[in-house]
């Protein structure tokens, strides 16, 4: 079994805690987090609208293979998933990952990428409340809950939900081998 966990972001607009806290949790559980992005270099992190450091991109999403990863995490931030859903390679990777049956965890605005990937029909998720119409228009059911797990999709609403989000993600991943 793969022990790498893909974290997919755009190169800008990532809500810092939605990347760094799940990253630390999977690392502490014995997995190897890997940052994928459309462009090489660094990803600009934010604390709401304020720049909050950067994180090095480990690999281009265009070069990533779903088979190399045990799970996928999609951090939020408004600009991050909005940019990701315009990147063909990112959308294709997300679609393949959901279809693989492996855990896919998306928080806050990140489900926009799930909408774009066309993987929400008949699925129940949560997100930042402003996405609920997009989720419904994509064929999904939206719930206002701390964490919603539907088969391999794990979703949460906002940074306050990170403890429940990471717990559900780690439960779905099991132990690294």
End-to-end CA distance of the chain: 6
Active site residue 108: yes
Domains and their CATH numbers in the chain: 4-173 (3.40.50.880)
Mean of pLDDT over the chain? 97
Give the pLDDT score at 2: 73
Q: Is the pLDDT of residue 36 over 90?
A: yes
For β-strands 141-142 and 12-15, DSSP reports them as unpaired
28-53 average pLDDT score: 96
Q: Is the pLDDT of residue 133 over 70?
A: yes
Give the pLDDT score at 1: 55
Catalytic residue, candidates 16, 85, 109, 123: 109
Query: 57-106, pLDDT tens digit by residue?
Result: 999 999 999 999 999 999 999 999 999 999 999 999 999 999 999 999 99
163-167 average pLDDT score: 98
CA-wise closest residue to 97 among 122, 77, 74, 81: 74
CA-wise closest residue to 19 among 97, 102, 116, 84: 84
Catalytic residue, candidates 108, 117, 135, 154: 108
25-49 average pLDDT score: 96
């Amino acid at each position: 079994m793969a022990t790498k966990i893909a974290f997919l972001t755009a190169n800008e607009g990532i809500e810092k805690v939605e990347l760094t806290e799940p990253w630390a949790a999977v690392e502490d559980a014995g997995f190897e987090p890997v940052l994928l992005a459309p462009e090489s270099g660094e990803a600009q992190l934010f604390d709401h609208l304020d720049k909050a450091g950067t994180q090095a991109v480990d690999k281009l999403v265009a070069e990533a293979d779903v088979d190399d990863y045990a799970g996928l995490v999609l951090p939020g931030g408004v600009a991050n998933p909005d940019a990701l859903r315009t990147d063909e390679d990112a959308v294709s990777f997300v679609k393949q990952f959901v279809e693989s049956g492996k855990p896919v965890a998306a928080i806050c605005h990140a489900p926009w990428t799930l909408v774009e990937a066309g993987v929400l029909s008949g699925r129940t998720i949560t997100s930042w409340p402003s996405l609920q119409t997009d989720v419904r228009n994509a064929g999904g059911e939206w719930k206002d809950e701390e964490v919603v797990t539907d088969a391999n999709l794990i979703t949460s609403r906002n940074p306050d939900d990170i403890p429940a989000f990471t717990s559900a993600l780690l439960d779905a991943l099991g132990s690294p081998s």
